[in-house]
Chains A and B, each alone.
Chain A
């Protein structure tokens, strides 16, 4: 019988499914049952009792402590629960109805941590390639009887940097969908250095936007300069205010680099006070591309956690919703994203590589052998060269396959976490017994659990 020592992962195998976790917490215990959608505070006696039992713990509690048994039973905690694994269904046919197009590796900014080193290369997707990808997802949608397709612009550069190409692609998709009675939904990740034409285009085509904004003025300007070194903050804010004026739907993505963690609370206030969007995603550094040479240390993650919690406190008093991808407190699952798992994503890079990850789009990337599973070629009969075994392997990967996750209480909330970031980052920070993001994922999840439990206990006194 084992239990978690604070945030350190240890086997918690007192249920056959390994899906209930006991976490020591101050002088009591949190029992966390994600598949049962339950968290409970156990008092010392209950926590010590359960922690000391063996595989036959349910029967032991029933015999020794029938009252506790009944309490746990009334919470549904003895019901068997499992997450379904759809990663390798026999009937799988690669027929995506959405495509992520990385139309250029060029960019108007030179962000100091860019995972793609955007702007250093100038690859541009030819129009025939975009058409081929769009035709494919349209054909799949029609065959499935779906009502819509989805096109995302994201990847190795800034799509609006090739505005003429972008408009041609969207016009083509709109025409094709209209002809086939399909709806087309658009998403774009962008640096938000836009002129009025781009904003009008985004509005006209109802494109939902992920806007990169790293913090208040000095932080954003430090991280996201133009090639000549000027900061981009004022232009981005101007774009976002125009988004607000014309009703473009957007969320903010903010990368927090070492040394600037303490901007998070202030930035949260800034967004609440000045922008209409109420969604901020804070992410720690992704140690890829230009960031691959940046330092990592435990103080950074400590500080990220501390400042995120301060920002969260502010957010809870406003309409702002904070998010960090490694701690999903709204949904549980087995795959962090569609880079791996049952339905891998269809991302086409400017040079025609097909990848399951928007952050790995070129064969020069060290992770290309894992994520790139095909190529688009100029052949009307057979436009896709696909590596079936690689696709099968990617589809088979989920949190069940990651050794580091097996005994972790956060595994269905982080869902195995971002495979790319885990692989790109410092594999093991020497001072830690787990990868840095793992520590952060557990710490934030535990804080969320504690928040909900305390609110439950204190009721109206929860202030």
Chain B
């Protein structure tokens, strides 16, 4: 279970990966980066506070009191604001 079975179970991923691998220098002898992506979160700020703004939804998700944008995991009411929008 701990091994790569999850990928085998994921048909979409498998198919897309095959498609992607065809265009990548997967087995080149030259060590290289094939692709890079920026994660949807911003580099963590020194203040330890969330970077998104608070007032764009009814739920105050980002509270300056906590380092972690409030305990949304507990209450399951998630902020609907999206810094990308």
Contact = CB atoms under 8 A, between A and B. Distances in A.
Interface of A: 5-8, 25-28, 34-46, 48-50, 65, 67-68, 71-72, 75, 81, 83-84, 86, 96-98, 100, 148, 150, 152, 154, 185, 187, 189, 206, 208-210, 249-251, 253, 279, 281, 298, 301-302, 305-306, 309, 313, 323, 325, 328-339, 341-343, 345, 357-359, 415, 418, 431-434, 439, 443, 446-447, 450-458, 461-462
A345 B74 contact: yes
Contacts of A152: 75
B59 to A, nearest CB: 5
B2 A251 contact: no
A457 B23 contact: yes
A37 B39 contact: yes
A41 B58 CA distance: 39
Contacts of A71: 32-33
Contacts, number: 242
Nearest to B2: A8
Contact-residue size bin, chain B (C-beta under 8 Å from the other chain): 35 or more
A462 B30 CA distance: 26
Contacts of B23: 457-458
Contacts of B71: 337-339, 345
Contacts of A462: 16
Given A279-B78, A306-B9, A343-B66, A86 B4 contact: no
Contact of B1 (A432, A450, A455): A432
Listed residue (A37, A43, A343) with the most chain B CB atoms within 10 angstroms of its CB: A43
Contact of A342 (B21, B33, B66): B66
Contacts of B74: 154, 337-339, 345, 357-359
Contacts of A339: 71, 74
A331 B19 CA distance: 30
B80 to A, nearest CB: 7
Given A7-B3, A342-B66, A49 B41 contact: no
Contacts of A7: 2-4, 6
B43 A6 contact: no
Contact of B3 (A6, A42, A251, A451): A6
Given A42-B31, A337-B71, A338-B74, 11 more contacts: A28-B24, A39-B37, A40-B33, A46-B32, A337-B74, A338-B66, A338-B71, A358-B75, A432-B2, A443-B6, A452-B39
Contact of B69 (A301, A309, A313, A333): A333
B17 A454 contact: yes
Interface in B10-26: 10, 12-13, 16-17, 19-21, 23-26
A332 B27 contact: no
B20 A6 contact: no
A42 B33 contact: yes
A138 B67 CA distance: 21
B31 to A, nearest CB: 4
A331 B26 contact: no
A183 to B, nearest CB: 9
Given A8-B2, A28-B34, A323-B78, A43 B27 contact: yes
A189 B59 CA distance: 13
A313 B12 contact: yes
Contacts of B37: 38-40, 452-453, 455-456
7 contacts: A35-B44, A38-B37, A39-B36, A41-B35, A154-B75, A333-B67, A447-B10
A343 B4 CA distance: 38
Contact of B26 (A36, A44, A434): A44
A145 to B, nearest CB: 12
Contact of A40 (B5, B10, B35, B63): B35
B59 A249 contact: yes
B44 A332 contact: yes
B8 to A, nearest CB: 10
Nearest to B42: A37
Nearest to B5: A302
Contacts of A84: 44, 46-48, 67
Nearest to B3: A6
B29 to A, nearest CB: 6
Contacts of B46: 84
B67 A336 contact: no
Contacts of A83: 44, 48
Contact of B32 (A34, A38, A67, A185): A67
